């Protein structure tokens, strides 16, 4: 008797269209119904018998960083079909940094849940994740890590640079630089309008080492992209070719059973931490890495990260730590050039999505060539890693400073606290001429942590008070429990943990308190006796934020602190396997 085409496999062995059948109480009927509907789109049985590659599409009119998704989709489909697979694209949430209120970080976990559940719900043997703008890549990697199937990341790519009055410009370090000039009165309204037209010269992510570029480099360091997948600009043929290769590799991963847990290993996370330090990457990168690792049951050891930073110099000469842009990094050989230089410090046996180790991929990339974007390890642009971890009575759970983008003269500094209770207080008073502030003071902003804002916005880049900016002040020590864009610069202490909204010591800082910053000693100290802090806490107890309904209620009930990745507690792996690095 002939076997029916609608007999289903055991769930553990199911593949393609037989995978994850909708439950109607009759598996054969479930497959019969599924095939009937998909055939309505014109598919044949021959097509439906191929390995199915899902493609998570994040194209959106609200997301110009992903404006090349239609071209990437075409190339992905081509790659999948050339390799004998069936491409099936599906939409997920798309999050853009500048088009997400109150902040894109607030929606990262929601996007990760969307990604995970759609990967689980729909039949696919492998998935391609298309992401680029700041929170999309970590959200997708978090979701895919939890879903567990073969997964590969495709980065949308960086924008091209523009030109303003003969000066090369690119988002968004130059956005901040020109806005600072405007606030200081150095340029007028006509010029700031002119530069606004030139900062973003094409679709794509920020052209500097902001969070998007950082996560692109980290994704490749983790082994989650095709070799060379981090650096090609969005509108180049190189980016399209990477997309085609990604589609073909997804099919091979499905056939080989190369699931994401075989790539996202402790060795991979250690490599990513090393790269984060060497590229002068965004401080956001450590929060995202922590969240991704948490999905695999791993905790990032911040103290170990700091020790790694003391032996891992910044090699990439890219804004805001250096002078170049992402398209220059690509022309200089991209991540292959950086990894070749870092090779003695890397875990070379870490597996990648190609089925080869990172060491094998570095060797396959061939010899280096003359370029001036990636420095030799003996001649770095900064002698230590870009990020330093601070601790002290102001941040018992740790805090972060991007030392490679800070003012060397402020790295050892003591000053008087000028306190802003929240973002609204900051907006109301920062530009007032009667603000009691000097260049030697320390600006403190409270209630912009995970729960305080909510969503830990990038308000940590507190603007220089206008009266100081007009007096020529370019930097001042700033402290908050929030985040800062990777495109920003300055002597800024971030991610103070525990945050003020849950009663951390930051909540009890008052105007006039003395604060000591010592990056050399990795300390951030509030010079107030413990007894006085306890008295203040009893006098002004903190009521944690709550919400009555919806996603905000879920967020405030479940979000963790910065040292745990600002993920939802119930999304972490149920069992902790250890720390990274081990």
Region 544-552: what's the mean pLDDT?
97
| C-alpha separations of 228 from 59, 332, 373, 453 in Å | 22, 11, 16, 37
The answer, yes or no, to whether residue 11 has pLDDT greater than 70, is no
For 316, residues 6+ apart whose C-beta sits below 8 A from its C-beta are 209, 278, 279, 280, 322, 329, 338, 373, 374, 375, 381
DSSP states of 503-534: T-GGGG--TT-EEEEETTTTEEEE-S-HHHHH
List phi, psi (to 5°) of 337. Answer: -65, -45
pLDDT of amino acid 203: 98
For the stretch 84-133, pLDDT in tens is 999 999 999 999 999 999 999 999 999 999 999 999 999 999 999 999 99
CA distance 386 to 402: 6
Region 69-98: what's the mean pLDDT?
97
With respect to residue 487, please indicate whether it lies within any of the assigned structural domains.
Answer: yes
The answer, yes or no, to whether residue 145 has pLDDT greater than 70, is yes
Region 447-455: what's the mean pLDDT?
96
CB 157 within 8 A of CB 200: no
For the stretch 202-234, pLDDT in tens is 999 999 999 999 999 999 999 999 999 999 999
pLDDT of amino acid 1: 42
pLDDT of amino acid 338: 98
Region 435-444: what's the mean pLDDT?
98
- Rounded to whole angstroms, the maximal C-alpha distance in the chain is 91
The answer, yes or no, to whether residue 6 has pLDDT greater than 70, is no
Task: Looking at 164-236, list the stretches that DSSP marks H as alpha helix, in order from N- to C-terminal side.
Answer: 173-184, 189-196, 211-221
Q: Would you state the structure tokens that stand for residue 23, as one six-digit string?
A: 């439950």
pLDDT of amino acid 2: 45
The DSSP letter of residue 476 is -
- Is the model more confident about 46 or about 8? 46
Whether the bond into 501 is cis, omega within 30 of 0: no
404 φψ region: left (φ > 0), alpha (ψ -120 to 50), beta (else): alpha
* Angle made by CA atoms 416, 419, 424, in degrees to the nearest 5: 160
pLDDT of amino acid 489: 87
Nearest Cα neighbor of 108 from 73, 133, 72, 145 is 133
CB 45 within 8 A of CB 38: no
Could you tell me what percent of the chain has a pLDDT over 70?
98
CB 234 within 8 A of CB 203: yes
Kindly report the CATH number assigned to the domain that includes residue 540: 3.50.30.80
3-state SS, residue 92: coil
Count CB neighbours of 39 within 10 A.
Answer: 13
Q: Which of 175, 196, 217 is the last residue of a domain?
A: 196
* Angle made by CA atoms 79, 85, 90, in degrees to the nearest 5: 80
Q: Would you state the structure tokens that stand for residue 318, as one six-digit string?
A: 């890219």
Region 450-467: what's the mean pLDDT?
95
Nearest Cα neighbor of 224 from 65, 351, 319 is 351
CA distance 177 to 515: 27
With respect to residue 553, please indicate whether it lies within any of the assigned structural domains.
Answer: yes
CA distance 379 to 383: 8
Give pTM, 2 decimals.
0.96
pLDDT of amino acid 448: 97
* Confidence class for position 534, pLDDT limits 50, 70, 90: very high
**Beta pairing class for 412-420 and 395-402:** unpaired
For the stretch 253-281, pLDDT in tens is 999 999 999 999 999 999 999 999 999 99
For 550, the domain range is 387-563
For the stretch 335-377, pLDDT in tens is 999 999 999 999 999 999 999 999 999 999 999 999 999 999 9
With respect to residue 128, please indicate whether it lies within any of the assigned structural domains.
Answer: no
pLDDT of amino acid 487: 83
Question: What's the distance, CA 474 to chain centroid?
Answer: 27
pLDDT of amino acid 8: 57
| C-alpha separations of 317 from 144, 208, 232, 379, 465 in Å | 32, 10, 17, 11, 29
Whether the bond into 85 is cis, omega within 30 of 0: no
With respect to residue 558, please indicate whether it lies within any of the assigned structural domains.
Answer: yes
Q: Which of 196, 222, 252 is the last residue of a domain?
A: 196
The answer, yes or no, to whether residue 411 has pLDDT greater than 60, is yes
**Beta pairing class for 52-57 and 126-131:** parallel
* Count of domains observed in the chain: 2
pLDDT of amino acid 527: 98
Count CB neighbours of 574 within 10 A.
Answer: 6
Region 137-158: what's the mean pLDDT?
98
Mean pLDDT across the chain: 95
pLDDT of amino acid 582: 82
For 498, residues 6+ apart whose C-beta sits below 8 A from its C-beta are 396, 397, 504, 505, 561
With respect to residue 409, please indicate whether it lies within any of the assigned structural domains.
Answer: yes
């Amino acid at each position: 008797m002939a076997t029916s085409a609608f007999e289903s496999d055991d769930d553990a062995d199911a593949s393609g269209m037989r995978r994850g059948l909708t439950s109607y109480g009759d598996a054969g009927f479930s497959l019969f119904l599924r095939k009937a509907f998909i055939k309505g789109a014109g598919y044949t049985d021959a097509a439906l018998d191929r390995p199915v590659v899902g493609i998570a599409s994040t194209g959106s009119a609200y997301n110009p960083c992903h404006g090349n998704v239609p071209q990437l989709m075409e190339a992905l489909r081509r790659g999948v079909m050339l390799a004998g697979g069936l491409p099936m694209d599906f939409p997920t949430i798309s999050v853009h940094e500048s088009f997400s209120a109150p902040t894109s970080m607030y929606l990262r976990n929601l996007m990760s849940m969307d990604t995970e559940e759609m990967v689980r719900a729909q039949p696919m043997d492998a998935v391609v994740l298309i992401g680029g703008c700041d929170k999309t890549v970590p959200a997708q990697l978090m979701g895919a890590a939890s879903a567990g199937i073969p997964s590969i990341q495709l980065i949308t790519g960086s924008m091209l640079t523009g030109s303003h009055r003969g000066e090369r410009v690119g988002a968004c370090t130059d956005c901040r630089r020109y806005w600072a000039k405007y606030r200081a009165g150095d340029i007028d309204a006509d010029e700031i309008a002119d530069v606004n037209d030139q900062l973003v010269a094409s679709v794509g992510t920020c052209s500097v080492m902001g969070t998007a570029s950082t996560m692109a480099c980290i994704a490749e360091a983790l082994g989650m992209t095709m070799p060379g997948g981090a650096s090609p600009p969005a509108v180049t043929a190189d980016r399209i070719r990477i997309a085609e290769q990604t589609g073909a590799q997804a099919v091979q991963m499905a056939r080989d059973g190369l699931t994401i847990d075989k790539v996202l290993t402790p060795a991979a996370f250690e490599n990513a931490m090393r790269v984060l330090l060497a590229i002068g990457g965004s401080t956001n990168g450590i929060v995202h890495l922590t969240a991704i690792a948490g999905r695999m049951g791993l905790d990032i050891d911040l103290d170990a990260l700091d020790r790694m930073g003391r032996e891992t110099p910044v090699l990439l000469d890219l804004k805001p730590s250096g002078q170049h842009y992402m398209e220059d990094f690509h022309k200089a050989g991209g991540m292959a050039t950086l990894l070749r230089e870092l090779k003695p410090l890397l875990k070379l046996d870490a597996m990648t999505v190609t089925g080869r180790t990172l060491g094998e991929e570095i060797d396959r990339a061939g010899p280096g060539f003359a370029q001036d974007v990636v420095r030799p390890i003996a001649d770095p642009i900064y002698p230590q890693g870009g990020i330093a971890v601070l601790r002290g009575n102001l941040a018992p759970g740790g805090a972060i400073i991007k030392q490679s983008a800070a003012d060397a003269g402020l790295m050892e500094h003591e000053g008087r606290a000028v306190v802003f209770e929240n973002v609204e207080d900051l907006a109301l008073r920062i530009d007032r001429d009667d603000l009691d502030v000097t260049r030697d003071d320390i600006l403190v902003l409270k209630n912009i942590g995970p729960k305080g804002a909510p969503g830990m916005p990038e308000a940590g880049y507190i603007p220089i008070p206008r009266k100081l900016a007009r007096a020529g002040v370019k930097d001042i020590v700033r402290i908050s429990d929030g985040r800062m864009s990777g495109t920003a610069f300055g002597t800024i202490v971030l991610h103070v943990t525990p945050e003020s909204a849950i009663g951390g010591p930051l909540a009890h800082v008052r105007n006039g308190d003395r604060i000591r910053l010592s990056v050399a000693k990795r300390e951030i100290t509030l010079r107030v006796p413990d007894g006085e802090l306890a008295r203040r806490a009893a006098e002004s107890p903190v009521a944690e934020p709550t919400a009555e309904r919806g996603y905000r209620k879920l967020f405030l009930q479940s979000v963790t602190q910065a040292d745990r990745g600002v993920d939802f507690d119930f999304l972490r792996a149920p069992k902790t396997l250890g720390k990274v690095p081990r």
